[in-house]
Amino acid sequence: MADSTELQARQSIHVAGEWRHAVSGATRAILDPADAAPFALVAEGDEKDTDLAVEAARAAFDGGAGAWPRTPVAERAALLRRVADLLVRDREELGLLESRDAGKTAEEGRVDIDCVADAFRYFADLVAAEAPGRVVDAGSPDIHSVVVHEPVGVCALITPWNYPLLQASWKIAPALAAGNTFVVKPSEITPMTTIALIGLLAEAGLPAGVANIVTGPGHTVGARLAEHPDVDLVSFTGGLASGTKVARAAAPTVKKVALELGGKNPNVVFADACATEEGFDTAVDQALNAAFIHSGQVCSAGARLIVEESVRDRFVTELARRAERIRLGRGTAEGVECGPLVSEQHRAKVEEYVASALAEGAVLRCGGKRPQPSDVRPATGWFYEPTVLDHCHREMRVVREEVFGPVVTVETFRTEDEAVALANDTEYGLAGAVWTADAGRARRVAGRLRHGTVWINDFHPYLPQAEWGGFGKSGTGRELGPAGLAEYRETKHVYQNLAPKPVRWFTG
């Protein structure tokens, strides 16, 4: 693998229909987390590049009759469908790029591309089927009153490193469907597939200036987007601390803000779900998926296993046995089931959480260390073993804070009320799951959980037509579904008097 000095810097900033280097000429090496070697060199934008991108998006939004906001809905929907077709065409290439960029397995990368295409098709179908407005009965035949939905304007879209293209699509597809223009800032460490998507949008025929991308760090590009007076909406997905900074920066201009800030998600297992061998096997298998897909670097990961006391020992023993057998390695290698963590700094953070848990009394059932190198696991890669921490309690940092790694904590309960109390005892409220054979209990518990998504006898299904977002410190606003489209719109009431007459309020 060539080092960063041998790589040619690509023009990864796209403004007003043109690919560019950064104004400053700065670059950043993109590292493969499987071996820490650079495989691409991209432009490192800053505030100057951001201002140019916002200016281009503003001009594209404010243009004349042919501008994107005034393009007929059918044409906007057709473009989104063309993008979906291009994603399907490039599925293998994009899936492998996502794997190399973010460290996930190649199969996870391919599935991500399928989900991205689904999102573009969903929002195309949603806007194409809408009525043009809601007629309001004003009580007079001389009054025509209608409520319409219009695009917000220039959107700043700030996306995370764990699902680079999927999270970008959840913002870009509805933003375009609604008629907005945008500037997207992907994570500086995983920008490659978002760059590729901007290219596909141009290939599909999107007018210049509608879609702009600035690659660069959050403290410059992201901060400038959040505060920029010509940005009408900022949509951010990432950590709580960064999201708070985004909201604070956006406040003086009173722009619309949507935040998806992660979660600390409960996976509640009742004993009756494990009454049969098939039920037990399914619940354990899904607990593995909940905790360890993409090495736990998932905002909705089932990182808190809350299991009924009577089945706890058997369940945790089997969970740990299976976790130990997960095959770690480079995501593109045959037979690998789980890849590395995204960076050396992130692995150090996960290690610190595990160390603190053990110091606070947690019992290590498996994992808790870096694996031995192998032919698919370079010594320089940022790998960490799937880890099960037993006998955890609510005062532990590892239970309360988002680890975002391959770590699952185990708590136990005896009663339904206790299970609900444990599941809700978090500042977050993104997602959770309930496992039970009792349909009545399933509905009761799901109804009492303070989380934006609750799965019953399942974990991590994806439906673009269902809203996604959380309660509490998991953020504000929603992505996907009709509400995800509504985030990118303003509501306007148009009142037309067809027979105006004088109104004598004053005696002049």
Catalytic residues: 260
Q: What are φ and ψ of residue 32, in 5° steps?
A: -80, 115
Helix count (H) and strand count (E) of the chain?
A: 15, 20
- Of the candidates 329, 389, 385, the residue with the CA atom closest to the CA atom of residue 364: 389
| All residues at 6 or more sequence positions from 447 whose CB lies less than 8 Å from its CB, including other chains | none
| All residues at 6 or more sequence positions from 458 whose CB lies less than 8 Å from its CB, including other chains | 286, 433
| All residues at 6 or more sequence positions from 206 whose CB lies less than 8 Å from its CB, including other chains | 68, 79, 176
Cβ burial of 277 (10 Å; 0-12, 13-18, 19+) is: exposed
Instruction: Write the DSSP assignment of 374-407 as a string of letters.
Output: BTTB-TTS-----EEEES--TTSHHHHS---SSE
- Of the candidates 359, 266, 342, 480, the residue with the CA atom closest to the CA atom of residue 33: 342
Q: Which sign does the torsion angle of CA 163, 165, 171, 177 carry?
A: negative
| All residues at 6 or more sequence positions from 347 whose CB lies less than 8 Å from its CB, including other chains | 340, 341, 370, 382, 383, 384, 405
Dig out the tokens for 23 from the structure: 């104004």
Alpha carbon distance 127, 262 (integer Å): 28
In three-state secondary structure terms, 44 is coil
Amino acid found at 238: G
- What are the residues facing 20 on neighbouring strands? 13
Alpha carbon distance 252, 388 (integer Å): 44
Beta carbons of 384 and 405 less than 8 angstroms apart: yes
Apex 464 CA angle, 165 and 491, nearest 5: 100
Scan for tokens 């939004």, then name that residue: 61
Dig out the tokens for 250 from the structure: 């956006």
Q: Which sign does the torsion angle of CA 419, 420, 421, 427 carry?
A: positive
- What separation, in Å, do the N-terminal and C-terminal C-alpha atoms of the chain show? 85
Would you tell me how many other CB atoms lie within 10 Å of the CB of residue 195?
A: 25
Largest CA distance in the chain: 92
Helices marked H in 412-460 — which ranges?
416-424, 439-448
Instruction: Write the DSSP assignment of 195-235 as a string of letters.
Output: HHHHHHHHHTTPPTTTEEE--S-IIIIIHHHHH-TT--EEE
